[in-house]
């Protein structure tokens, strides 16, 4: 496997969806190619950082407004419906 081929398989490898035979080749390449190993580590770390990063908190005032707007719209859509 060449570095370019590894690059093309990167998603599948990182997501754990790569074919076992290809996986073995992939790992064999990384064992002998430190830059590729580091790139794969970096990619995993990148995904982790974004996934585990703090989410943007929704402003409380906006939340109140959103629910009010939705209740209003709901009433328009369900005229005479039970006031639940």
Q: Closer to another protein at the Cβ: 15 or 20?
A: 15
**Ordered DSSP codes for the chain:** --HHHHHHHHHHHHTT-S-HHHHHHHHHHHHH-HHHHHHHHHHHHHHHHHHHSPPPPPPHHHHHHHHHHHHHHHHHHSTT----
Which of 16, 20, 35, 79 touches another protein by CB under 8 A? 35
Q: Is 48 in the site for another protein (CB under 8 A)?
A: yes
Q: Is 24 in the site for another protein (CB under 8 A)?
A: no
Which of 55, 60, 64, 79 touches another protein by CB under 8 A? 55
User: Which residue is associated with the tokens 């690059």?
Assistant: 7
Q: Is 23 in the site for another protein (CB under 8 A)?
A: no
Select from 57, 49, 54, 5 the least CA-distant residue to 28. Answer: 5
Binding site for another protein (CB under 8 A): 1-4, 7-8, 10-11, 14, 29, 32-36, 38-39, 41-43, 45-59, 62-63, 65-67, 69-71, 73-74, 77-78, 81-82, 84
């Amino acid at each position: 496997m060449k570095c370019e081929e590894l690059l093309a398989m990167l998603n599948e490898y990182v997501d754990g969806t790569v074919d076992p035979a290809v996986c073995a080749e992939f790992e064999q390449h990384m064992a002998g190619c430190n830059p590729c190993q580091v790139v794969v580590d970096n990619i995993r770390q990148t995904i982790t950082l974004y996934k585990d990063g703090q989410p943007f908190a929704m402003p409380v005032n906006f939340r109140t407004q959103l629910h009010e707007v939705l209740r209003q719209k709901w009433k328009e859509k369900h005229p005479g419906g039970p006031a639940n």
